Amino acid sequence: MLNNHNKKLIIANWKMHKLISTAEKFVTNFSKHEISNVCDIVLCPPATLLQLVNEKFLNSSIKVGAQDCSAFSAIEGAFTGDISAEMLSDIGCEYVIIGHSERRKYHQESNALIKNKIINAHQANLTAIICVGETLQQREEGSYKQVISSALADSLPSTSNITNIVIAYEPVWAIGTGRTATIEQIEEMHQFLSKETLSRFAFSPKIIYGGSVNLENAQAILDISNVSGLLVGGASLDPEIFHKIIKIAER
């Protein structure tokens, strides 16, 4: 079964940015724009702002996602500092980013741990946005496809289906660096990811691109076949810029 790739998915990853005051400013300004149903829009603020953002967009088509969830229980337990997938669902999240390269790097997250997180997300009916990508060294060594293939093999649980996972291809060397992958590189990797998931699960989920997406490159990236949307970091912090990226995706 093939996914309907026509409806683009545009996700804002705010990372560890914004306080209540600046988030309120964002939602107030962002809400001034008419947001149609042409694309699926997901805002992923830090956990402290999930409720605020969710409440603001309750009656709109904009969805809310978290940036991480606990690997240890889908529900609750003695895991200080963790937030469970059920808690995220309870607060109104429909999505959760899992396995972002910054979590892999700064929290030593392994594919095995990421797999547990995805299973927990699925138990709470969340769609897992699973990030995969190679480092510059892995790209230069030529092992990048192997790295991605192993990440999929070792982290995707059997609970995955066409609607409860989204794969985000995010080359580590393109994140926050201003250095975007070339059109050819993105096309090659999205085709590769599509084939890999198809052979592994007999379906191909939405595969979105992330890494220094901005107003200048969004259109060209969205035009690539097998690119179902964007995971936008830095450029999603400004409501005007993020809205313009959505408008580009709506074309």
Catalytic machinery residues: 100, 170
Query: Total binding residues for ligand PGA by CB under 6 A?
Result: 13
For residues 158 and 31, give the distance between their C-alpha atoms in angstroms, rounded to a whole number: 38
181 belongs to the binding site for ligand PGA (CB under 6 A): no
The rounded radius of gyration (Å) of the Cα atoms in the chain is 17
For residues 53 and 92, give the distance between their C-alpha atoms in angstroms, rounded to a whole number: 10
Q: How far is CA 229 from the centre of its chain?
A: 10
Contact 95, 42 (CB under 8 A): yes
Identify the bridge partners of residue 66 per DSSP, sorted by sequence position: 96
CB of 176 to ligand PGA, least distance (A): 4
Q: Which residue is nearest to ligand PGA (CB)?
A: 233
What mask of x and - would describe binding to ligand PGA in positions 185 to 224, judged by CB under 6 A?
Answer: -------------------------xxxx-----------
CB of 27 to ligand PGA, least distance (A): 20
C-beta closer to ligand PGA: residue 74 or 175: 175
C-beta closer to ligand PGA: residue 227 or 232: 232
Q: Pick from 79, 176, 219, 240: which binds ligand PGA (CB under 6 A)? A: 176
231 belongs to the binding site for ligand PGA (CB under 6 A): yes
Q: Which span (22-30, 141-149, 191-199, 226-234) binds ligand PGA, by CB under 6 A?
A: 226-234
Phi, psi of 247 (to 5 degrees): -60, -40
CA dihedral 186, 190, 192, 193 (to 10 degrees): 140
Identify the bridge partners of residue 84 per DSSP, sorted by sequence position: none
For residues 193 and 204, give the distance between their C-alpha atoms in angstroms, rounded to a whole number: 8
Q: How far is CA 232 from the centre of its chain?
A: 8
Q: Which span (69-77, 84-92, 190-198, 228-236) binds ligand PGA, by CB under 6 A?
A: 228-236
CB of 109 to ligand PGA, least distance (A): 14
**Contact residues for 80 (Cβ-Cβ < 8 A; gap 6+):** none
Residue 182 DSSP code: P
175 belongs to the binding site for ligand PGA (CB under 6 A): yes
C-beta closer to ligand PGA: residue 16 or 78: 16
**Contact residues for 106 (Cβ-Cβ < 8 A; gap 6+):** none
234 belongs to the binding site for ligand PGA (CB under 6 A): yes
CB of 11 to ligand PGA, least distance (A): 8
Residue numbers at the binding site for ligand PGA (CB under 6 A): 13, 170, 175-176, 210-213, 231-235
